[in-house]
Amino acid sequence: ANIYVARHLHAPIILVGDIERGGVFASLFGSVELLPPDLRPLVQGLVINKFRGDPAILGSGLEILEEMTGVPVLGVLPYLDLSLPSEDSVSLGDKKSRPEGESLDIAVIRLPRISNFTDFEPLERLAHVRYVGLSEPLGRPDAVIIPGTKNTVSDLREMQENGMDRQIMSLENTPVLGICGGYQMLGREIIDSGIEDTIGSVPALGLLDATTRFDLYEKKTVQVEKMVTGGGPILEPIRGQKVKGYEIHMGLTSPREESAFQDDGAVSSSGIVIGTYLHGLFDNENFRAAFLDFLRRRK
């Protein structure tokens, strides 16, 4: 992802390998060898990351790696439990079990093309957040979150084919939050002019009275600050306060419900189904607290 920048700036490159995933020597060697000729000289050092144990046992391997690549190994970093954002969906398998003593159960639908799932990492330190595949039983969670996706229509269809839409809709009085593509899925229909996956109308979950249209291949990318304008048991305690986030999506959603955040999103009449385009919502302490406080009071 950083190669484009390195090429244009002629910036030195440090290549970091994750030893937890296995094959770190082959990964580092192969990455160096496969770089285009103009980029290969920019690699100034190699680093092995997330090592558990005595780094001395890597000694001969590090020496051979330096000999084969001609690039020095700068060091070996120990595994540390840091609260840093994950690297896209490749890190979904690294998720930990529920925090000690925490009883809240929040289910995030693991869409095949899930994106921006780091939206929910602030929750993981405060509640049991589990990622549920489309063919897995959803159970009786305290809340359901439908995340962003790289292709809303395709993931919606697979959700329907696997029956996850019916599992979600069968939950009575359970809060459902949809973010970005998840918000689009919560509406009544998605009308696609061939931008996403098809041409025509695709019925959605119908938990919000909203319609999404994909008319132009134009992506909105912007950082925003919005005022909480929605009501209901989750948003009412923070109505009038501000939240920050970012939008990165295609499509335009027209809700016929009360807006959630100024001119963004929608809230059902019950107040427990919320849709929004705002990523990073749980980084806002006020929204995070309002969401979790409501779930804890109910439980």
The catalytic residue positions are 180, 279
Helix (H) / strand (E) element for 45: namely strand 43-51
User: Is residue 34 classed exposed, middle or buried when 0-12, 13-18 and 19+ CB atoms within 10 A define those classes?
Assistant: exposed
Angle at 20 between CA 155 and CA 81, to 5 degrees: 90
Cα–Cα dist 234/230, whole Å: 9
Which residues lie closer than 8 Å to 88 by C-beta, 6 or more apart?
115, 117
CB atoms under 10 Å from CB of 282, counted, come to 24
Q: How far apart are CA 159 and CA 200, in angstroms?
A: 18
